[in-house]
Each structure stands twice: as structure tokens, then as C-alpha cells.
Amino acid sequence: MSILEIDKKNIWHPFTQMKTSPAPINIVSGKGAKIFDENGNEYIDAISSWWVNIHGHCNETIQKAILKQIQKLEHVIFAGFTHENAALLSEKLISILPENQNKIFFSDNGSTAVEVALKMTIQYWKNQNIQRNGFIAFEDSYHGDTLGAMSVGSRSVFTDAFSGYMFESYHAPLPSEENIDSVMTQLENIIQEKKPAGFIFEPIVLGAGGMRMYEPKFLDMIIELCRKNDIIIIADEVMTGFGRLGKTFASDYLTNKPDIICLSKGITGGFLPMGVTSCAKYIYDIFYSDDITKTFFHGHSYTANPISCAAANASIDLLLSEKCQNNIEQIMNLHNEFIQILKNNDKIKNIRQKGTILAFDINTSDNEGYTNQIKNILYDYYIKNGVLLRPLGNVIYILPPYCITKDELNRVYEIINLSLKII
Ligand SMILES: Cc1ncc(COP(=O)(O)O)c(C=O)c1O
């Protein structure tokens, strides 16, 4: 049986209607910004494979770090034991995260990093016998697919089936120059009425919600309001972390720093799953007690896996290198030039860029957003032309690995330009 036949027989793919979706492409290898299929076709991975491969595919530095670790220790239970790579990684993270971040809690992916942040916040109040209720979040936000993470995300076709099983959260519109006063008033009312436990947000760019961007100054205003009301501030940097928006973290654009930060995706350079939830000391201190009931009872089997930690240490070193920082700068400059070309195209609107992300919307008479069917036509066109781009409904975005070359990025722009001629 071929790989595709075995796949069809056995496998249930994520976010995929198995009845109507075409067969997947069998990828056999990757190098840099490219992946290669079983028939010898190559594709420029312009979305860093679900936003994880910040250094591209098969990066040799990360490969070597993994190989070295595999020969020493593959895994060890992380309660009652620790190891060198976890310690090194915690030091590294604390040195690059906003100054108030003081403790590192490991988990396995973006959703678990968010679950941990939510549970930490809930128990932070419970440990002090203070009644707080639910979370503030933004409309169109996405925080993952586990039940807690879905509960704080916006409601959509993704969450409909589970509506009776999610807890309440209070969604405010994304702030802009036009609505900031009304958003602040709405939030003040929610805070007065509900006394929320925390405020969770994707800082500056809402990823899965359509690469929607908003100004750090408005987020700073909202954080200030929440802080005045003792609401715990949670930045979900699962997508925005590790250089994606130009600075190491999106929180680096903020004056008011979060209490808790969720990380995943780029942390290991896309080699291995890992989630991290960092927090300020004053959060941790509320759990630090002789009373066993104040313990944070949460953990996962692969918590702080030594191989994942080794990959993360190598990936962060690469990110901080001059070469990588120059690459990020180059992507931002090239995006800027492409925007000047896109501006003349009347088939599109809302052209936007933050750091290495460039996005725009296709004008459409159908419903905007994820269910817009133009994504299927465009996705097929991009694949046929050797570019991996995965539109979010009528939103086209580029989120490349930092190692992408100028020629590769120009090819992505060329194919996008051509695609706009077929619609
Ligand atoms: C902002 C944000 N938070 C959380 C998640 C969930 O991460 P994971 O898919 O690793 O569970 C995602 C995934 O896209 C995300 O973009």
C-alpha cells in the first residue's frame, strides 16, 4: 500500500472534513524554507508550517542539539526530577522575556500553555478566597482547541458543537481609533458587573481570527484599566512570540507588561512540541505555601522533555544571532516594498503588516472570514505553483520562516500577484 492509501485507511486529520477534502500531499523532506513531496515537487513554505518553523525545515544547528541530547537522556519525569536543558532554557527565557516574568511552567503545546495560564489565574484567586468570575477576551480571538482555551476564544463554527460545555467569557471588540472610547466603556461595565479573574489576549495580531492587527497603545490602555481593577493580565504569545512581530515578543511593544505569558509554536523552531507559561513572582507566591491545597495541581507526561528543551535552547540562540535578526529585518523591508505594489490592486483591501507578517483581505460579496470559499480556489492555485499559503477565508497572509531567501520571498509575492488575476 502507498503512504496515501495507508493514510486514507487509518488517519483522521485535524480541521479536515474527511469526506470531502482532497487527499493530503505526502511530504518526504524539507530544507530551509522548502518542503518536497513524494513526486519531487517543491513548495516554498510561506506560513512556517502552522507558524512553527521559524528557522525553516531541518535546521542543522537544532538537529545537532537534538542529536546530542538524544544520546544522553530522552525523557525524565519532571516532578521530583530536573535536568540541565530545562534549567538552561528557564534561564534563557527569563533573560529575554519582559522583566517581571520570573517563573517558567512547562507543558506541551499552545492550547496547554493557555490552559495553564487560565488555571493559574483561577487558582490565584481561589488560594486567596477571593471570588472572581470568568475572563475578558477579544472578539475573533483564538486561544486553542481544548475546552478552557475554546471558552476564552471567540465563538464560531469551530466551537458550536461544544457551546454547552464551555465556561462564560466576556468578549470586547478589538480596539481601534474609531471605537476605543466605546470599548473602554464596555470593559468598565463588564468589570463592574462581573468582576473577572483575568484578561487574555493575542497581543497586536489576532492570528487565526484573520491576522487582524491593532495598536499596542490601545492594548496598553486596556491593560491599565484591568490592572487598576486587579485583573490578571495574560498575553497569549503562542503565535506572536520569538521574533514574529519583529521584536522578540509582542509584549516588548507594550509599556504595561503582562502578569502571565503563554508560549509555544516557534519555541523549538518547529522540531518538537512544547508549551511554556511564564508568570510574575507575585502570581507564584500565592501558590507557595505549607498548605498542600494551594499547590498548582497540573502537569503533562512530556512536561519539559529534555529533547524539546535542547531544541528550544538551540532555536532561541539562533533567533538572537545577528544573522537571524538581519533576516527578520530583510523580510520586513521586502514586505514593505510588496505593500507598495499591492496598494494599487483594487481587488484587495486592509493591507497590513507587523514584523514578518503581511496580510490583506480579498474584496468579496460573500461573507467575510474563515468560511469564505475563495480560500479553496487560492490554496489550490498556490499549491499548484509551488507555494504553501493557507488563506483564512478571504484573508491572504504570509508568515515565513526567517531563513527564507530574497528570491524565495519574491517568488511568493509573484505567485500572490498572479493569483489576484484569476479571481
Ligand atoms: C494565539 C494562539 N494561541 C493558542 C494556539 C493553540 O496552539 P496549539 O495549536 O499548539 O494548541 C494557537 C494556535 O494557532 C494560537 O495561534
pLDDT by residue for the chain (423 residues), tens only, comes to 999 999 999 999 999 999 999 999 999 999 999 999 999 999 999 999 999 999 999 999 999 999 999 999 999 999 999 999 999 999 999 999 999 999 999 999 999 999 999 999 999 999 999 999 999 999 999 999 999 999 999 999 999 999 999 998 999 999 999 999 999 999 999 999 999 999 999 999 999 999 999 999 999 999 999 999 999 999 999 999 999 999 999 999 999 999 999 999 999 999 999 999 999 999 999 999 999 999 999 999 999 999 999 999 999 999 999 999 999 999 999 999 999 999 999 999 999 999 999 999 999 888 877 778 899 999 999 999 999 999 999 999 999 999 999 999 999 999 999 999 998
- Residue 3: other Cβ atoms inside 10 A: 12
List, chain by chain if needed, residues with CB within 6 Å of any ligand 1 atom: 109-111, 114, 142-144, 202, 207-208, 236, 238-239, 264
Domain boundaries, position 87: 1-423
Q: Are 68 and 310 in contact (CB under 8 A)?
A: yes
Cα–Cα dist 356/336, whole Å = 10
What's the order of all strands across the beta sheet hosting 348-354? 348-354, 357-362, 395-398
Amino acid sitting at position 410: N
| SS3 category, 249 | coil
Q: Computed from CA positions of residues 341, 342, 343, 344, in that sequence, does the dihedral angle turn out positive or negative?
A: positive
Instruction: Note the pLDDT of residue 371.
Output: 77
Cα–Cα dist 217/219, whole Å = 5
Total structural domains within the chain:
1
Residue 413 Cα to ligand 1 midpoint, Å, equals 26
Which residue out of 112, 142, 397 has the highest number of ligand 1 atoms within 8 Å of its CB and is therefore the one to mutate? 142
Instruction: Note the pLDDT of residue 367.
Output: 81
Q: Which residue has its alpha carbon closest to ligand 1 atom 10?
A: 110
C-alpha 83: how far from its chain's center? 27
Q: Are 399 and 356 in contact (CB under 8 A)?
A: yes
- Residue 7: other Cβ atoms inside 10 A: 14
- DSSP for 108-119, please give it: SSHHHHHHHHHH
Task: Please choose, from the candidates 387, 386, 383, 384, the residue with its C-alpha nearest in 3D space to the C-alpha of residue 398.
Answer: 387
Q: Are 58 and 30 in contact (CB under 8 A)?
A: yes
85-114 b/e with 16+ CB inside 10 Å = b?
bbeebbebbeebbbebbebbbbbbbbbbbb
Instruction: Note the pLDDT of residue 404.
Output: 98
Task: Please choose, from the candidates 36, 6, 136, 46, the residue with its C-alpha nearest in 3D space to the C-alpha of residue 403.
Answer: 46
Instruction: Note the pLDDT of residue 368.
Output: 79
We report the CATH number of the domain holding residue 59 as: 3.40.640.10
Q: Which three cell numbers stand for residue 300?
A: 503533562
Q: Which three cell numbers stand for residue 422?
A: 484569476
Residue whose C-alpha cell reads 477579544 in the numeric block: 138
Q: Say which residues have a Cβ less than 8 Å from residue 189's Cβ, sequence separation at least 6.
A: none
Instruction: Note the pLDDT of residue 247.
Output: 98
Amino acid sitting at position 392: L
C-alpha 29: how far from its chain's center? 24
- Residue 346: other Cβ atoms inside 10 A: 8
Cα–Cα dist 107/414, whole Å = 40
Q: Are 194 and 231 in contact (CB under 8 A)?
A: no
Q: Could you tell me whether strands 232-236 and 198-201 are parallel, antiparallel, or unpaired per DSSP bridges?
A: parallel
CA distances from 220 to 139, 180, 225 (A): 18, 12, 9
Q: Which residue has its alpha carbon closest to ligand 1 atom 9?
A: 110
What's 80's DSSP letter?
S
Cα–Cα dist 317/312, whole Å = 9
Cα–Cα dist 62/55, whole Å = 9
Which residue out of 13, 50, 159, 264 has the highest number of ligand 1 atoms within 8 Å of its CB and is therefore the one to mutate? 264
Residue 237 Cα to ligand 1 midpoint, Å, equals 9
Cα–Cα dist 236/208, whole Å = 13
Q: Could you tell me whether strands 198-201 and 135-138 are parallel, antiparallel, or unpaired per DSSP bridges?
A: parallel
- Residue 369: other Cβ atoms inside 10 A: 17
Instruction: Note the pLDDT of residue 39.
Output: 97
C-alpha 207: how far from its chain's center? 7
Q: Which residue has its alpha carbon closest to ligand 1 atom 16?
A: 239
Residue whose C-alpha cell reads 497540573 in the numeric block: 298
Q: Say which residues have a Cβ less than 8 Å from residue 271's Cβ, sequence separation at least 6.
A: 59, 62, 63, 66, 308, 311, 315
Residue 145 Cα to ligand 1 midpoint, Å, equals 8
Q: Which three cell numbers stand for residue 158?
A: 469551530
| SS3 category, 423 | coil
